[in-house]
A and B are shown apart, each in its own frame.
Chain A
Amino acid sequence: MNPDSGRLGRVTAIRASADSPEPVVPPETPESLLALVARGDRAAFDRLYDRYANAVYGLVRRVLRDPAQSEEVTQEVLVDLWRSAASFDPDRGSASAWIMTIAHRKAVDRVRSAQASTLRDVRVAQLGEERPYDVVAEAVEHRMETEQVVRALKDLTDLQREAVTLAYYGGYTHVQIAELLGVPLGTVKTRIRDGLIRMRDRLGVTA
């Protein structure tokens, strides 16, 4: 370790404490960031990128699996946040919900588009080999910030978790899920809805 780094750390700490009596700036919420972006604030968009790029990329990749396509769609989503920030309506939900909705819709649009038929074949083949919700659970399990979500997911019945995960992380339509599982459409819809309601209540989510 560099002997100077300790001293530097102390200096920083002193400076920080000297700063503290100054008026406290309220932390920037995602909603206030989006409002700035909507007014064309490029620096605010940089901060929005830093806050959400990993989440957008992770979700898109979870759905698409193919890294190159995922990167392409992630770029589309992030540019779309810049373009359409003004249409975010805080009355309908949080900035995170809005952003993840755009990301998820663009990912499933890509999966379902005709050009992606090869991709879809690959995904269906993969589905036969693994149970996607276990993969997801393993991948996110170790992360503190997602622990709560994983616990809520685990708290579902196996059938609910399967339906929710195939729909959201898998990007499958309810018709495809019904075919995959060999159950009626209404059953799939009920499992997804009951599962999400249970997760919502477990997580204390408010719209």
Chain B
Amino acid sequence: MTEPYDPQPDRYLDSGAYAADALSPEEVAAFEAAMAADPALRDEADSLRATTARLGMAAAEPVPAGLRDRVMAEVDQTRQDAPAGSGVVVPIGSRRWSGTARLLGAAAAVLAVVTIGVSVWGVSVSRQNDALVAASAEVTRVITAPDARTISGPVDGQAGRGAVVVSPTLDAAVFVAEGLGAPPAGQTYQLWLIGADGSASSAGTFSPGQDGMAAVALSGSPETAAAVGMTLEPQGGSTQPTTTPVLALPLA
């Protein structure tokens, strides 16, 4: 059962169905993205949430006997989540990283933003949010690996800086950046793993946040790559680089 594709849906039309949890996960993700960009839409959705909550409270009925004891027993064994924003600890004190400590701090900030983003309303329901959590977990895993090495450099034509953090034992790498400008309309940043022979394979596309920060896990194995490059490509990415790299970081 699929919904006809609507290229320009009126998100206001969805506010009631959102407040009643009647949207599909994909629509929830789209609505929450629209809400993040439109305070009036968010206010409307919040007020309708408050309204459905009244309907919920009105349905109250006595809980079955015995439930209280079971809940309390489980609570006694349940660890509480840390407040949003304090959950990501990135060791930036080691000498090895001192040159890029600020950059890693930026990466940590990005991760914190992701954490806050998914804890709104306390439950992650949309698949998009789950994907974000999974991505941030991978970034954290690589950045905190004992053998992680960081190679950083300036981005051509911009004040921003980018860095690759690579862990040989995990055979994984992440890209972090700060001060990165938004890509021109219709374009996206694309990362490449570049072999010793100059061949390039895509390691994924990304857009920095509004604050110019990014932290993304590279797809593909960095083991045989000699460098990581970044280019601007048409929206959706390319199979091979079509522009001059704005950043190239040698891994060796």
A positions within 8 Å CB-CB of B = 38, 40, 42, 45-46, 49, 53-55, 57-59, 61-62, 67, 71, 74-75, 78-80, 82-89, 92-94, 96-106, 108-109, 136, 139-140, 143, 145-146, 149-150, 153, 164, 167-169, 171-175, 177, 179, 185-186, 188-190, 192-197, 199-200, 203, 205-207
Contacts and interface: CB of A to CB of B under 8 A. Distances in A.
A173 to B, nearest CB: 5
Contacts of B62: 54, 57
A192 B17 contact: yes
A100 B57 contact: yes
A84 B14 CA distance: 27
A114 to B, nearest CB: 14
Interface of B: 1, 3, 12-17, 19-24, 43, 46-64, 67-68, 70-72, 74-76, 78-84, 119-123, 125
Nearest to B74: A79
A100 B58 CA distance: 11
Contacts of A186: 13
Given A49-B71, A53-B63, A146-B58, A200 B51 contact: yes
Interface centre among B14, B16, B63, B71 (most CB of A within 10 A): B16
Nearest to A202: B51
Contacts of A93: 46, 49-50, 53
Contact of A92 (B23, B46, B64): B46
Contact of B20 (A86, A92, A167): A167
B83 to A, nearest CB: 4
B59 A197 contact: no
The 5 closest A-B pairs by CB, nearest first: A193-B16, A207-B46, A100-B56, A192-B16, A87-B119
